[in-house]
Amino acid sequence: MTFSPLLKFVPLTRSIKSGALFLLIASLVVSCQKKGTDVSSTGMQTVEESQNEQAATVPSAKTVAVTEPVAVENVAQDAVSAPSSSQAAGAGLRFLAYNVENWLVMEERYDFDTRVTEKNASKPDKEKAAVVEIVKSAQPDVLGVCEIGTKEDLADIQARLKAAGLDLPHSHFAGGMDRTRHLGLLSRHPISSTAVPADLNYRMNGKEYGMQRGILDATVKTPDGREWRFLGVHLKSKRDVEDGDQNLMRINESQLLRKHIDGILSANPQARLIAYGDFNDTRRTSPLRIVQGPYNSPRGMSPIGAHDSRGEYWTHFWAREDVYSRFDYIHFSQALKKDVNFQECGILDPKNWNDASDHRAVLGVFR
């Protein structure tokens, strides 16, 4: 399979089989970030603009940023069921990272089957069912998702998975400046703590910008007493904006993640740290190199070089350009180096992957 360089990211979520159909719907095709977003196509909202808007619509509230995890109470919606034999103490952990593609209400959503555009429409049930089927097949202990709309949307995934036989009763929801797309984490095991990075802003062209989807930071405690700290991200898309270079935005966001990682590992070099998500860039680009840090260093984060059943590494398909790209990663800290079960890690490639999302899920298995 040939991997073409991706210059501008405007993915289609379904294959287009005729030129005529493409011309008909071209105006409706938008990128992962652009679908239903509150950020205009001509610019991104600055921190100052966001603060002014919030001050005009909601009472002021004091937010405390922390870098150390804080205890979480009443995270579980239901009691944790007894683990199966494969999930017993000492059996390790299965983690699935997945961009579930717009599990949210969109201002305009085009259905490729009916050729109808609906306003204020949720992700179709057929797509949700495909996501649930794929996740259930992987049997993760922890699921980290991108492109979740609201807390209710995260609860929707959780409820559908439970109905299908996969109970992940503990949850955490996080986000940044983007009020449409957020990050979510579901876990079989209790979430012992969460944290908010102290710094999620950067300056560019004389303006201050906030990390669009923020950083999800949650620690899960497994029955064997070990703690696993998860950092989830969804970096700036390749969609161009007038405010500045989209690559530079991703670089700035990756530097914020790197700063948070350094703070964690400086305080605890043995932290069992996993940084995952949709990085909207490929392995040797600056954003990914920044996140990975110095090679073979105590500060380094190593990517799991997962592949699918055919030995292919791509996780996202842009149908319009026939471009296959690896955007989705699971990175692990040096303390986890000996615990990665590389033989069981992989990129999920069921036949219905494209019915669920324009991304494929990445599975990390740890001893």
pLDDT tens, N- to C-terminus, the chain (367 residues): 433 333 333 333 333 334 433 333 333 333 443 333 333 333 566 666 665 555 444 333 333 344 445 444 333 333 223 334 344 444 799 999 999 999 999 988 887 777 788 999 999 999 999 999 999 999 999 999 999 999 999 999 999 999 999 999 999 999 999 999 999 999 999 999 999 999 999 999 899 999 999 999 999 999 999 999 999 999 999 888 887 789 999 999 999 999 999 999 999 999 999 999 999 999 999 999 999 999 889 999 999 999 999 999 999 988 777 889 999 999 999 999 999 999 999 999 999 999 999 999 999 999 9
Strand partners, 70: 194
Distance CA 4, CA 316 (A): 12
Q: Is 115 left (phi over 0), alpha (psi -120 to 50) or beta?
A: left
Within-domain flag for 79: yes
What is the H or E stretch that residue 14 is in?
Answer: none
Q: What is the CATH number of the domain that holds 362?
A: 3.60.10.10
Range(s) of the domain holding residue 353:
19-366
State whether residue 72 is helix, strand or coil. Answer: coil
Angle at 63 between CA 243 and CA 146, to 5 degrees: 55
Within-domain flag for 8: no
Q: Are 127 and 352 in contact (CB under 8 A)?
A: no
DSSP letter (8 states) at residue 83? P
Within-domain flag for 33: yes
State whether residue 268 is helix, strand or coil. Answer: coil
pLDDT of residue 316: 95
pLDDT of residue 7: 31
Q: Are 255 and 279 in contact (CB under 8 A)?
A: no
pLDDT of residue 318: 80
Within-domain flag for 264: yes
Burial category of 145 from C-beta neighbours within 10 Å (exposed 0-12, middle 13-18, buried 19 and up): buried
Tokens of 192: 């012992």
Within-domain flag for 269: yes
pLDDT of residue 319: 74
pLDDT of residue 330: 98
Q: How far is CA 297 from its chain centroid?
A: 25
Cβ count near 262 (within 10 Å): 12
pLDDT of residue 84: 41
Distance CA 315, CA 110 (A): 23
Within-domain flag for 165: yes
| Tokens 């998702």 sit on residue | 145
Within-domain flag for 92: yes
- Domains in the chain, number: 1
- Where do the DSSP E strands lie in the chain? 70-71, 93-103, 106-111, 116-121, 142-148, 170-174, 182-187, 191-194, 201-204, 207-210, 216-221, 227-234, 273-278, 301-303, 316-318, 323-325, 328-333, 346-347, 362-366
Please report, in angstroms and rounded to a whole number, the separation of the first and last CA atoms in the chain.
32
Within-domain flag for 52: yes
Q: Are 287 and 281 in contact (CB under 8 A)?
A: yes
pLDDT of residue 114: 76
Q: 0.75 exceeded by the pTM?
A: yes
